[in-house]
């Protein structure tokens, strides 16, 4: 699952064919990529809808709405290296009376998401730091973004 580019160099194409041979299924977030892979001979490839697919077209529509005092944040295991800076930024916005919405990286709560939220929540100790469940109403989530 993710981005796949068909290689251009001869040796890379040979390696790519070996990888495809061992691949059971491909999910892609790009419709053009799905078509390219099918043309290349990959039979079991499907389009996978993610939030960014809709967000691009809707941005202009929501940009005109009044400004709200909130920010939307999330963090993954790669970002944990910057946790201190991340928390300081959150504290800065909370100090300015912003609502800080924490959106879990995965669609559901993972152990990492829960641990990061609990850690940050404990350190900022502020009711304006809240979890936002993007699964409840996707259109509302896009408006929030």
d(C-alpha 10, C-alpha 13), whole Å: 5
User: Mean pLDDT throughout 5-14?
Assistant: 90
Helical (H) or strand (E) element with 99: strand 99-102
Confidence check: pLDDT of 26 > 80: yes
* pLDDT tens, position by position, 34-93: 898 999 888 889 887 666 655 555 555 555 555 678 999 988 777 777 888 889 999 999
Higher pLDDT among residues 13 and 48, named by residue: 13
Specify the pLDDT at position 9: 93
Q: Which residue has the tokens 């790519």?
A: 16
pLDDT tens track for 78-136:
777 788 888 999 999 999 999 999 988 776 666 778 888 888 999 898 889 998 988 78
Owner of token pair 């981005």: 3
20 or 108: which leads in pLDDT: 20
Q: CA 13, 18, 20 angle in degrees (round to 5)?
A: 90
Domain boundaries, the chain: 10-47, 63-144
pLDDT at position 63 is: 55
Q: What is the predicted pLDDT for the residue at 114?
A: 84
Note the pTM of the prediction, 2 decimals.
0.55
- CA dist 83 and 87 (Å) reads 6
> CB burial class (10 A; 0-12, 13-18, 19+) of residue 96?
exposed
- Residue 83's Cβ-count burial label (10 Å; 0-12, 13-18, 19+) is middle
In contact, 134 and 51? CB cutoff 8 Å: yes
């Amino acid at each position: 699952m993710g981005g796949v580019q068909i290689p251009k160099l001869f040796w890379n194409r040979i390696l790519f064919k070996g990888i495809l041979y061992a691949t059971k299924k491909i999910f892609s977030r790009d419709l053009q990529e799905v078509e390219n892979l099918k043309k290349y001979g990959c039979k079991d490839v499907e389009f996978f809808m993610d939030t960014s697919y809709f967000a691009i077209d809707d941005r202009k529509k929501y940009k005109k709405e009044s400004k709200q005092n909130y920010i939307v944040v999330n963090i993954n295991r790669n970002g944990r290296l910057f946790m201190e800076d991340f928390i300081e930024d959150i504290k800065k916005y909370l100090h300015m009376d912003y609502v800080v919405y924490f959106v879990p990286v995965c669609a559901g709560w993972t152990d990492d998401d829960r641990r990061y939220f609990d850690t940050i929540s404990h350190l900022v100790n502020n009711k304006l730091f809240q979890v936002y469940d993007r699964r409840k109403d996707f259109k509302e989530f896009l408006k929030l973004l």
